[in-house]
Structure 1
């Protein structure tokens, strides 16, 4: 089946989905973030086929989200987040916060987040980069940006 290419759309959400929209990609990024860096570790944790995992890792490396680092002469590689990948994990943390609120059920969230700067357990909270106030979907207006294509 032909995969839809969202990368050429004039929408930052669509272009982001072109990088991580396949269902395994966010889970691969999560695992690399928590320290599962080798192919066999990722495969064992996710229960994913070797073929699909290879495709996902190659795609994420090609997109500049992960980098390969050799650890053996055979060659074998560890996978590590790039700066681009680390910033995508911030997006995944927001997704996890939504999941904690709406899908965790009575058991509660499976993971807690301790903020290194203050040592407190917290949650991800979207804030305006200019004033520091909470920033959620109902708090903003959408305006045309410099990348917007003029419609005739």
Structure 2
């Protein structure tokens, strides 16, 4: 396990595992069907040594797994359940990027559903259906430590 940046914070732990640029781009491309080292390198432009490191780390932390490719001659990388659970993260980053990382009219990609329709904007909501944001939520520590519930 890594040395945690902030051992009690789920955001910090997640960033310790996938918070660098290349890891999330590898996960993004795996969600889009990339399976081989060559595919990941072609899609991202990542240097071979960095890609090797990221694939090892993502595999070691249970986000990717290796299996024999259909040809039987090589291994391929596929997302695990934990890797697939990053879909809402990738989607939210994509939608934020569509809104804030491009100028008006600038060409960019968008994610569509199986009907070809753009995926609706993700908006977190409370148990009563009201939208949530940074002003309507707070952090509550859970667990059995001395500061639990504080």
Give the TM-score normalised by the residue count of structure 2. 0.82
| 2:147 is equivalent to residue 150 of structure 1 | yes
Counterpart-to-counterpart distance in 1, 2:90 and 2:129 = 21
Runs (5+) with no aligned partner, structure 2:
none
Could you list the per-position Cα deviations for residues 76-119 of structure 1 after superposition, in whole angstroms to 9, with x for gaps in the alignment? 21111111111112111111111111111123562223345x86
Counterpart-to-counterpart distance in 1, 2:91 and 2:144 = 27
Q: How many equivalent pairs are there?
A: 146
Pairing 1:122-133 to 2, within 5 Å after superposition: 122-128=119-125, 130-133=127-130
Runs (5+) with no aligned partner, structure 1:
none
| 2:133 is equivalent to residue 136 of structure 1 | yes
Q: Which runs of 4+ in 1 moved over 6 A?
A: none
RMSD (Å), alpha carbons: 2.5
Cα pair 1:10 1:147 within 8 Å, conserved? no
Question: Of Structure 1 and Structure 2, which has the larger fraction of its residues in strand?
Answer: 1
